[in-house]
């Protein structure tokens, strides 16, 4: 399968449709893995969440969907080492912006395979994250996961979160989006 979007455009630029018709849904094991990743983040099981990532991982939350993360500021742009240090910080419990910790639940829906080969699959999903800490907030957007099949099982290679509110004022992201 090839990438659905044109080669010179990102897979999901804002306010544009990536494909003219339906896209295939991911295999059940991939969908279950993405639901598991979301549940670990919601439950604050950060060390287990960190173990899902490959060594060449990239976790990106851009301020604008078409930005080049090496040239423009991002909310989050973490390689594997930065993911590890982010999780270590979260595990200390010493985060003023998360005292008390947020209670979270997220929904993933509209899962579509954007690209697949023998070893990887790229899946885009809509998400809504409900966060409660003194008041309820809703975070929503489109998340693109790249998952690798390995002899040890599925592994997360890339996660890009396109927030609906990107570019505007964003409350703290002191948890995993």
* pLDDT greater at residue 6 or residue 121: 121
E-strand ranges in the chain read 53-62, 74-79, 103-116, 120-133, 135-150, 153-163
pLDDT digits (tens, 9 = 90+) for 68-98: 988 998 888 999 999 898 888 877 766 666 6
Centroid of chain to Cα 55 = 16
Provide the pLDDT for residue 174. 62
Q: How far apart are CA 58 and CA 42, in angstroms?
A: 20
Mean local confidence (pLDDT), 169-174:
70
Max CA distance (Å), the chain: 47
Average pLDDT over residues 132-147: 91
Give the pairing of strands 103-116 and 120-133: antiparallel
DSSP assignment of 19-59 equals: -SS--PPPPHHHHHHHHHHHHHHHTT-HHHHHTTEEEEEEE
Our measurement of the distance from residue 123's CA atom to the centroid of its chain's CA atoms, rounded to an integer in Å, reads 10
| pLDDT top residue among 2 and 30 | 30
Q: At residue 107, does pLDDT exceed 80?
A: yes
Fold of 28-163: Nuclear Transport Factor 2; Chain: A, (3.10.450)
What gap in Å lies between CA 62 and CA 167, rounded to an integer?
Answer: 9
- The pTM is what? 0.84
Question: Which residues have CB under 8 Å from 24's CB, separation 6+?
Answer: 112, 113
Q: Where are the domains of the chain?
A: 28-163
Q: What percent of the chain has pLDDT over 70?
A: 82
Q: How far apart are the first and last CA of the chain?
A: 29
Mean pLDDT of the residues in the chain: 84
Q: For residues 100 and 109, what is the distance between their CA atoms, to the nearest angstrom?
A: 29
**Band of the pLDDT at 15, cuts 50, 70, 90?**
very low
């Amino acid at each position: 399968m090839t990438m659905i979007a044109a080669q010179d455009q990102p897979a999901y630029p804002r306010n544009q449709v990536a494909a003219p018709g339906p896209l295939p849904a991911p295999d059940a094991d991939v969908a279950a893995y993405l639901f598991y990743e979301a549940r670990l983040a919601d439950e604050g099981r950060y060390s287990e969440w960190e173990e899902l990532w490959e060594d060449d991982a990239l976790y990106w939350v851009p301020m604008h969907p078409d930005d080049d993360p090496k040239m423009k500021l991002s909310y989050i742009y973490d390689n594997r080492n930065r993911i590890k240090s982010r999780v270590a910080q979260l595990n200390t419990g010493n985060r003023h912006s998360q005292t008390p910790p947020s209670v979270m639940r997220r929904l993933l829906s509209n899962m579509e395979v954007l690209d697949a080969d023998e070893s990887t699959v790229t899946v885009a999903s809509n998400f809504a994250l409900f966060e409660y800490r003194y008041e309820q907030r809703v975070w929503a957007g489109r998340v693109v996961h790249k998952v690798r099949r390995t002899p040890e099982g599925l592994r997360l290679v890339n996660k890009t979160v396109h927030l609906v509110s990107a570019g505007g004022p964003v409350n703290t992201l002191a948890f995993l989006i």
